[in-house]
Amino acid sequence: MSMVSIREARKIYDGGFEALKGVDLTIEQGEILALLGPNGAGKTTLISAICGITQPTSGTIEVGGHDVVRDYRAARRLIGLVPQEINLEPFEKVFNTVRFSRGLFGLPRNDALIEQVLRKLSLWDKRDTPVRALSGGMKRRVLIAKALSHEPRVLFLDEPTAGVDVELRRDMWEIVEELRRDGVTIILTTHYIEEAEAIADRIGVINKGQILLVEDKASLMARMGRKELRIELDDPIETLPEALSSFALTIEDEGRHLVYVYDTGAQRTGIARLMTALGEQGIVVRDVSTAQSSLEEIFVGLVADQQEGAA
């Protein structure tokens, strides 16, 4: 079942800037989607439009089947939003601030549920601590607790681990994974590609207000990921023998290395054939190593392609 459905969403800000240029996107129930994009790509605008904070200029957005403009309350009720900026009441105690958030949705008090949320986020010990006395990472957890206080079915995390240390980042990833196990649909924006690689099921890439692609992470890596085999030679060669011309080989380091690029998704890599052919040509291999393109390289390549296309 699709949880979020966006059709032809455009957003033109008052000054005339078009931040979303007709976005189509469907997010399935229970999945983790990471939205990647450079600064100013439109990620926050898109999330704000889904959450009903900003109105799309045209197009439709539905959450759980409810139109976010016409049926705002019903849609918003399903959504938990963890904003990029920390906007907490400094003197309020942790428990109270989370309880208050639930009240804002007009839901009856449920202290057992708030306790459960605080325990899940390792905040129970801090329940009576005023927010201002918490570390930055703990404040981020409070933001998540507030967003979960009304039992949302979709959680938006806008840069959840910006400025957070490595250890806390990993804790956050675990929290996200646990929420998914509870059936919560999660959409996160991030600048840390490693983060998307670690936790997302699908990756969406957005740039200049357009979705460049949305694809299953594993298939994206297999489709666009290329592997490189670096072959170190005993004796440098100047040119490739004719018998090797059918292989995608380049000569590097003044003939000391051959680099063979192959497709990770392909049935046969051709490496065995290449090694045999090298032997037949009397080319002695000293060492080999492989490198795989990361999601980061794929992402940088995609965005650069669009930049060139626009130029």
Ligand X SMILES: Nc1ncnc2c1ncn2[C@@H]1O[C@H](COP(=O)(O)OP(=O)(O)OP(=O)(O)O)[C@@H](O)[C@H]1O
| Site residues for ligand X per CB under 6 A | 13, 15, 17, 19, 37, 39-45
Minimum CB distance to ligand X, residue 38 (Å): 7
CB of 17 to ligand X, least distance (A): 5
For the bound state, the minimum distance from the C-beta of residue 159 to ligand X, rounded and expressed in Å, comes to 7
For residue 47, the tally of other CB atoms under 10 A from its CB is 23
User: Quick one: 151 or 296, whose CB is closer to ligand X?
Assistant: 296
Cβ of residue 249: shortest distance to ligand X, in angstroms? Answer: 40
Using the minimum distance from each CB to ligand X, give the nearer residue, 53 or 237.
53
Q: Which of 45/97 has CB closer to ligand X?
A: 45
Shortest reach from residue 145's CB to ligand X, in Å? 23
CB-nearer residue toward ligand X: 43 or 150: 43
Minimum distance from CB of 40 to ligand X (Å)?
Answer: 4
Nearer to ligand X, 50 or 258 (CB): 50
Specify the residue, 39 or 267, whose C-beta has the smaller distance to ligand X: 39
